[in-house]
């Protein structure tokens, strides 16, 4: 399909418009329960953003990295300290700078990717997870010497206006996520993304074409960490409303990894689908437990069942659909479309022909 605007095809623009209308107009008018914003939509946007970061390094560049939550912690605590110590930066400025700080960590912990690959790289990148959390715990300065362990996040103020209601915070997350998603799509579809994928698919050939492995891999790690850092800052300030290193433990890293794989490696929309699935699935399971079985099943058992199903799904997806739910969605759409066209095309055309013209 020919792009009509920048690198976007007509279909992309329609999809984008639908998403924007849905998220800006329809959701705020029809959903008024705070629960939906504070517990589902806001974390969904934040985690989808972090998953895009994971996608860039893992789905596009093919570097098995596991430490997204570490970069999120870096971003979150950078944000806290920037607002505290450099108030002149403002919210948006602090958000960008905390992303850049996370990116610096990304460069540092991405360097092993030049020497090791695969599962060994995964172990090497775990260092980021543990080092960043340890650093924040060890040096009181990062927490502003708060002894309670949990620090309340500052209120979000943009251009002098406070954004404290769930709806306002939702819009903050939505705006940041939309902008960063578009930038990620531009990169993924442009020459930058081609370099990433070339390194992923065949690094020797990529190098023979003049793609520098060092620059490409480090760049992917930096951009990935930037996305995770910004996502972490939003996660702490809009969702948790507090800062504690424990919130960014290895479990969160795994969660983001699952979102990435289930959503579909090497897709941007997969990040949103995967994040939605992993967030909503426990909610759904709880609802089933409460409404169908009327609480006969213990909550702990439900959470165990959740783990079992996630594990099973991961294996099934890895074997049967490595490209994840994004690919399933595409296939579904394609099948429906071909069904519809094969059914209707003759009847539609003939009915049009029969229409009398005045």
- Give dist(CA 349, CA 358) in Å, integer: 18
247 neighbors 121 (Cβ within 8 angstroms): no
Comparing C-alpha atoms, which of 109, 233, 256, 231 is closest to residue 181?
A: 231
First-to-final CA distance of the chain: 36
Nearer to other proteins, 202 or 316 (CB): 202
Shortest distance in whole angstroms from residue 70 CB to other proteins: 23
Residue 74: CB minimum distance to other proteins, A: 21
Under 8 Å CB-to-CB from 93, ≥6 apart: which residues? 82
Quick one: how far is CA 277 from the chain centroid?
Answer: 12
- The CB-of-204 to other proteins minimum distance in angstroms stands at 6
Contact set with other proteins (CB under 8 A): 6-7, 183-184, 186-187, 190-192, 194-195, 197-198, 200-202, 204-213, 219, 223, 266
Supply the minimum distance, in Å, between the C-beta of residue 90 and other proteins.
Answer: 21
Look up residue 157 and give its DSSP letter. E
Pairing mode, if any, of strands 151-152 and 157-158? unpaired
Q: b/e map of 277-295 (b: 16 or more CB within 10 Å)?
A: bbbeebeebeeebeeeeee
Least distance in Å: CB of 213 to other proteins? Answer: 8
Residue 195: CB minimum distance to other proteins, A: 7
Name which of 185 and 276 has its Cβ closer to other proteins.
185
* Cα→Cα distances 53→103, 109, 268, 305, 336, Å: 11, 14, 10, 29, 32
Cβ 350 to other proteins shortest distance, Å: 31
Q: Whole-number minimum distance, CB 71 to other proteins, in Å?
A: 18
Q: Name which of 113, 112, 89 is nearest 101 in CA terms.
A: 89
Q: What are the residue ranges of helices labelled H in 139-248?
A: 166-189, 191-201, 203-208, 213-234
The DSSP line for 1-57 is ---SBTTB-HHHHHHHHHHHIIIIIIHHHH---HHIIIIIIHHHHHHHHHHHHHIII
Q: In this complex, which beta carbon is closest to other proteins, that of residue 9 or of residue 307?
A: 9
């Amino acid at each position: 399909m020919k792009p009509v605007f920048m690198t976007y095809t007509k279909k992309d623009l329609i999809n984008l418009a639908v998403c924007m209308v849905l998220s800006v107009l329809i959701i705020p008018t029809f959903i008024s329960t705070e629960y939906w914003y504070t517990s589902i939509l806001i974390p969904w946007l934040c985690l989808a953003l972090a998953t895009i970061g994971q996608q860039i390094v893992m789905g596009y560049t093919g570097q098995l990295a596991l430490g997204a939550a570490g970069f999120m912690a870096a971003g979150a605590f950078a944000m806290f300290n920037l607002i505290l110590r450099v108030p002149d930066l403002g919210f948006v400025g602090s958000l960008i700078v905390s992303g850049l700080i996370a990116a610096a960590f990304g460069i540092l912990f991405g360097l092993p990717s030049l020497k090791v690959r695969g599962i060994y790289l995964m172990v090497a990148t775990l260092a980021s997870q543990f080092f960043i959390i340890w650093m924040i715990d060890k040096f009181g300065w990062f927490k502003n010497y708060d002894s309670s362990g949990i620090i309340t996040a500052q209120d979000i103020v943009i251009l002098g206006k406070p954004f404290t209601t769930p709806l306002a915070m939702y819009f903050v997350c939505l705006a940041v996520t939309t902008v960063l998603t578009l930038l990620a799509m531009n990169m993924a579809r442009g020459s930058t993304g081609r370099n990433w994928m070339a390194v992923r698919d065949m690094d020797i050939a990529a190098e023979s074409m003049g793609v520098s492995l060092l620059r490409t891999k480090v760049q992917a790690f930096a951009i990935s960490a930037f996305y995770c850092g910004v996502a972490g800052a939003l996660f702490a300030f809009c969702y948790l409303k507090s800062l504690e290193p424990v919130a960014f433990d290895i479990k969160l890293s795994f969660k983001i990894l699952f979102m990435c794989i289930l959503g579909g490696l090497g897709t941007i929309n997969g990040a949103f689908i995967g994040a939605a699935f992993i967030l909503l699935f426990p909610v759904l399971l709880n609802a089933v437990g409460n409404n169908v079985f009327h609480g006969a099943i213990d909550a702990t058992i439900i959470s165990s069942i959740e783990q079992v199903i996630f594990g099973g799904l991961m294996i099934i997806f890895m074997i049967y659909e490595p490209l994840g739910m994004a690919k399933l969605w595409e296939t579904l759409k394609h099948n429906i479309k071909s069904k519809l066209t094969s059914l209707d095309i003759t009847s539609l055309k003939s009915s049009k022909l029969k229409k009398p013209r005045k």
